[in-house]
C-alpha cells in the first residue's frame, strides 16, 4: 500500500474530523478522562483493542502479520490552568498547568470546569488591559500575579463565584482556536501533539478500510 493510494479526500477528511474532535476535548495535564473516552471510542470503531493504564495512558493494540511488537506514541495532554483562589471582587486567580507562555493568554477565552461537571466561560485578562486607561498597559508583566480570569457571569464577590460551584483546584481550559484554512493549513493551540494522535488514529482507520495488516503488531 503506497501513500498515493491512501492520500485521498476521504482519509484527509477523516483526519480533519478526528483532529477537530480531539481539539474540542479538553485535556490539560492530569485531566484525561474525557480525551481517553474519545480515544477509546475512536479505536473501537476501527476494531482495535484499547486499555487505560493505572496512570491514565491510553494504549491501543492492533493485529500484525509478525510476532515483533512496534510501539508508536503521541500525547494528548495540553497546557492549561487551574483555579488558585477567588478574589473578594469575584475574580479568579489561577495557576498554570504546564509551561504555558502567559503573555499569549492575555485576552484569550477559556472555560472553567467544576467538579460536578458544570462549565463556565471566561476571559484571561491583565490587570492593565487597556492602553488608553493604564499607563503601564504595555510594560506591566503578564504573570499569575498580574492576571486573572473574568467569568461571563454576574458575580460581584467571592461568594457569588462559590455559589456557581467553582472551587480551588478546578481546571481552566484554554480556547484552542482551531481553524482549517482554505489553503490547506491547520492552525490551533496544542497541535503538539494532538495532531500526532490524529495521524495515528487515521492510520488505524486506513488499515481497517483497506483491509491491510502491518508487518509488526
Q: Answer for the pair 108, 162: CB distance below 8 angstroms, yes or no.
A: no
Is 215 within a domain?
A: no
Domain, as residue range, for 200: 3-76+190-209
Is 217 within a domain?
A: no
pLDDT tens over the chain, length 217 residues: 566 666 688 999 999 999 999 999 999 999 999 999 999 999 999 999 999 999 999 999 998 888 899 999 999 999 999 999 999 999 999 999 999 999 999 999 999 999 999 999 999 999 999 989 998 899 899 999 999 999 999 999 999 999 999 999 999 999 999 999 999 999 999 999 999 999 999 999 999 999 988 888 7
Q: Closest by alpha carbon to 188, among 179, 197, 196?
A: 179
Q: The domain spanning residue 109 has which CATH number?
A: 2.40.30.40
On whether the pTM is more than 0.75, the answer is yes
Is 57 within a domain?
A: yes
Same-domain pairing of 70 and 128: no
Q: How far apart are CA 148 and CA 145, in angstroms?
A: 8
Same-domain pairing of 71 and 84: no
Quick one: pLDDT at residue 6?
65
Same-domain pairing of 125 and 163: yes
Quick one: pLDDT at residue 216?
80
β strands within 135-205, DSSP E: 147-151, 171-174, 179-180, 186-187
Amino acid at each position: 500500500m503506497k501513500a498515493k493510494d491512501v492520500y485521498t479526500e476521504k482519509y484527509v477528511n477523516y483526519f480533519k474530523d478526528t483532529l477537530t474532535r480531539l481539539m474540542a476535548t479538553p485535556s490539560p495535564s492530569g485531566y484525561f478522562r474525557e480525551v481517553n473516552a474519545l480515544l477509546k471510542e475512536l479505536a473501537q470503531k476501527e476494531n482495535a483493542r484499547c486499555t487505560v493504564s493505572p496512570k491514565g495512558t491510553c494504549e491501543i493494540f492492533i493485529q500484525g502479520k509478525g510476532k515483533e511488537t512496534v510501539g508508536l506514541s503521541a500525547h494528548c495532554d495540553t497546557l492549561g490552568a487551574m483555579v488558585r483562589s477567588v478574589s473578594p471582587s469575584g475574580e479568579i486567580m489561577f495557576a498554570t498547568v504546564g509551561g504555558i507562555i502567559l503573555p499569549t493568554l492575555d485576552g484569550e477565552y477559556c472555560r472553567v470546569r467544576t467538579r460536578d461537571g458544570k462549565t463556565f466561560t471566561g476571559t484571561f485578562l491583565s490587570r492593565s488591559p487597556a492602553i488608553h486607561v493604564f499607563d503601564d498597559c504595555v510594560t506591566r508583566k503578564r504573570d499569575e500575579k498580574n492576571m486573572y480570569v473574568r467569568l461571563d457571569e454576574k458575580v460581584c464577590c467571592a461568594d457569588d463565584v462559590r455559589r456557581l460551584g467553582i472551587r480551588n483546584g478546578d481546571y481552566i481550559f484554554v480556547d484552542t482556536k482551531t481553524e482549517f484554512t482554505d489553503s490547506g493549513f491547520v492552525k490551533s493551540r496544542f497541535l503538539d501533539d494532538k495532531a500526532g494522535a490524529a495521524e495515528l488514529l487515521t492510520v488505524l482507520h486506513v488499515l481497517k478500510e483497506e483491509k491491510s495488516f502491518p508487518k509488526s503488531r
